[in-house]
Chains A and B, each alone.
Chain A
Amino acid sequence: DQQVKQNSPSLSVQEGRISILNCDYTNSMFDYFLWYKKYPAEGPTFLISISSIKDKNEDGRFTVFLNKSAKHLSLHIVPSQPGDSAVYFCAADGGSQGNLIFGKGTKLSVKP
């Protein structure tokens, strides 16, 4: 059973507009979340994270929002650029094992 869910396999956005990528989780014990970006033929690269003590974290064009009551987080990219086209993975920290629990990913396409 998937503990981290990304229900949109793909998203297409026009350059300059906002991209919103969504993620849901089932385990209320999760207290730290991360977003990774993956280009083809490359490994995932860390993008931004958020702790459950916050509801928002910003880093440049990227903002992650966390709604603990809804067990939902979202990644906003503003403005979107063609170079943002990649697969975005939402992940939750799994705890003492040092593991990350990933969603299936959302493929973002930003069109010029």
Chain B
Amino acid sequence: DTGVTQSPTHLIKTRGQQVTLRCSPISGHKSVSWYQQVLGQGPQFIFQYYEKEERGRGNFPDRFSARQFPNYSSELNVNALLLGDSALYLCASSLVVYSAATNEKLFFGSGTQLSVL
């Protein structure tokens, strides 16, 4: 049984460009969350999607957007890249909407390392 898979593993872009990161959840998982981890910091929540609908959004500018497809995979898009967008982008999946109340657990992928030059 494969875990959460993310592609690409590494990416180099220049300022002002746009980037799309992809995530496939664990088979049977219907919720996908995205996190940004800047070097030296902990992961920071960007979005959660469940059944193709946005269920949560962190404190990120509108340049960040995401969507979830009928097969529960997800894409994270970042427009007008800034140097500060350089980070490890982590995708996590859960069976249903992640919530401590449901005792759900998040399973993380290995991430996409984005470098903006």
Interface residue tally of chain A, by bracket? Answer: 20 to 34
Tell which of B41-49, B66-74, B75-83 binds the partner: B41-49
Chain B 21-57 per-residue mask, 1 if CB under 8 angstroms from chain A, else 0: 0000000000101010000111111001000000111
Known contacts A43-B4, A44-B43, A93-B100, A99 near B108 by CB under 8 Å: no
Tell which of A58-66, A68-76, A77-85, A101-109 binds the partner: A101-109
Which of A32, A100, A105 makes the CB contact (< 8 A) with B106? A100
Determine the chain B residues whose CB is within 8 A of the CB of A94 once the complex forms: 45
B43 contacts A98, C-beta separation under 8 Å: no
B-side interface residues, number (CB < 8 Å): 28
A100 to B100, CA, bound (A): 9
Determine the chain A residues whose CB is within 8 A of the CB of B111 once the complex forms: 43
Instruction: Across the interface, name the chain B residue whose C-beta is closest to A45.
Output: B108
Q: Can you list 23 pairs linking A and B with CB atoms under 8 Å apart?
A: A31-B100, A36-B108, A43-B92, A43-B107, A43-B111, A44-B108, A89-B42, A91-B42, A94-B45, A97-B45, A97-B57, A98-B33, A98-B56, A98-B98, A98-B99, A99-B45, A100-B45, A100-B106, A102-B42, A102-B44, A103-B42, A104-B42, A105-B42
Interface residue ranges, A against B (CB under 8 Å): 4, 6, 31-32, 36, 41-46, 51, 89, 91, 93-94, 96-105
